[in-house]
A and B are shown apart, each in its own frame.
Chain A
Amino acid sequence: MRPFAYERPASLAEAFAVLDAHGTAAVALAGGTDLIIRLRDGTVRPDVVVDLKAIAERDDGLHERDGRLVIGGWAVMTDIAADPLVRREFTALGEAAQVVGSAQIRNRATLAGNICNASPAADTAPALLVYGAEVVAMGSGGTRRIPIDDFFIGPGRTALAPGELVTAIELPLPEGRRGAVHLRRTRRRGHDLASVTLACAVMDDGHARLAYGSVGPRPLLVTDDTGVLADATASAEARARLLDRLLAGASPSARSMRASPAYRLAMLRVLAVRAADIAARRVAGGAAA
């Protein structure tokens, strides 16, 4: 690994000072499960690595506050997947967190790090999109809230400004009953990156939100107000027409090794229908959402 300096600020103010002083020569270290790979292979070549884990304001927990689930910026996948409120009200996020990497990876990888890396294949991204998450970003200039749909820009690119850190991710609790699910397609069972990763949430009035990743430069969110997506009894033609519209944004790259564009588009359609049916059954059954 190429040498770099290591800073371990004790407060957010110290962290912002270090990040501002070094600009693009500094990189923030949370769980490290992506960053350390890139430091080793040389795709990230910082002068300074800023370890965020000794910051006094560090919040690695999950809390219910003012009708929202607040996921601390330091919370790891293991804890998100096991959280009772996630399992009850944000099932798709729990399911997504549970398939990120292996147990060893989930013990280190943070949700904040996952979204900041902005991989098109990030498994948690579709769930955050269907749940309407907000990203709390802090920097020396203050705090702002960024809707998750505005946060993702392209591969490795987010709305985060230089020197800003994600200190929390907030998800509003549902106002009605909701069923939701995360599904994905991988080359093999177990520990693998997704060829298609997708989440669907259906409200009890039939309104559906569908988000899909690994089929274009960033994960996409679409909505269906007609009730057709979540209606397993709708005609195949009606659903096919709707899917043509909902999935029109998918543009998988031909350069990816994991799967061909044609395969990804075919599987995206299969998974979208499957997810809508599961989500609709979950809302009807009153099961976890």
Chain B
Amino acid sequence: MTGLIPIRVSVNGRPRELAVAAHHTLLDALRDDLGLTGTKECCLVGECGACTVILNGRSVDSCLVLAAEADGGTVLTVEGLAAQGRLSALQQAFLDTGAAQCGFCIPGQLLAAHALLGLTPHPDRAQVEEGLAGNLCRCAGYEQIIEAVLRAAGAPAATAARVEDGAGQRSRPDPAATPDATVAPQ
């Protein structure tokens, strides 16, 4: 009664078919079944945001979604932000401002920021703080992270980023054309 469940899910623009255990999360499937280890496992209670991905156009904590729940869905992870070896405007801004210290929280911060800019292309500082309130940085590099998001929001490429169902993804080269490892941001 606890056999594997077949699921079909689009991950970073690439259709994937998996067989997942009922009690495994989307985070487990991404990291262990697909080898997409950019998405981090940390608190496992939805407080730290390190496992943030975009599921069907909305940011979620992938530790709080069963893999089976993602069946039929569209997932964007940090590995899907860059295209053809070029960082997204958001990633570049994180790099330029030195937003990554130890770097562990950065994939989640990037996806939360990506979702925020999809909804609010030109956020003020308070909106960035609220949008990233579910992402903890234990290096306490919040100033640089907020600055990076504000900087990316001022760049035309960042405001073009859209999150709903990968609509923004389809307009770009297929990330699946490039092996995941070569487009990973760090």
Contact = CB atoms under 8 A, between A and B. Distances in A.
Interface in A1-33: 1-6, 8, 29, 32-33
Contacts of B117: none
Nearest to B44: A40
A29 B49 contact: no
Interface in B18-75: 21-25, 44-47, 49, 52, 58-61, 63-66, 68-69, 71
Contacts of A104: 46, 49, 52, 59-61, 112, 134
Contacts of B112: 103-104
B66 A29 contact: yes
B26 to A, nearest CB: 10
A107 B134 CA distance: 12
Interface centre among B24, B60, B64 (most CB of A within 10 A): B64
B114 to A, nearest CB: 12
- Classify chain B's interface size: 20 to 34
Interface in B49-107: 49, 52, 58-61, 63-66, 68-69, 71
Contacts of A37: 44-46, 64
A56 B27 CA distance: 27
B5 interface: yes
A214 interface: no
Contact of A33 (B46, B52, B129): B46
Contacts of A108: 60-61, 64-65
Contacts of B44: 37, 40
B133 interface: yes
B65 A5 contact: no
B23 A4 contact: yes
B110 interface: no
A51 B69 contact: yes
Interface of A: 1-6, 8, 29, 32-33, 36-37, 39-40, 47, 49, 51, 53, 78, 101-105, 107-108, 190-191
8 contacts: A32-B66, A36-B64, A53-B69, A103-B133, A104-B61, A108-B61, A191-B133, A191-B134
Interface of B: 1-2, 5, 21-25, 44-47, 49, 52, 58-61, 63-66, 68-69, 71, 112, 115-116, 129-131, 133-135
Which 9 pairs show the lowest CB-CB distances between chains A and B? Answer: A102-B134, A6-B22, A107-B58, A1-B23, A3-B2, A5-B1, A190-B133, A104-B61, A36-B64
Given A36-B65, A78-B58, A103-B131, 20 more contacts: A3-B23, A4-B23, A5-B22, A32-B66, A33-B46, A33-B64, A36-B63, A37-B45, A49-B66, A51-B68, A102-B46, A102-B133, A102-B135, A103-B134, A104-B46, A104-B49, A104-B52, A104-B59, A107-B60, A191-B47
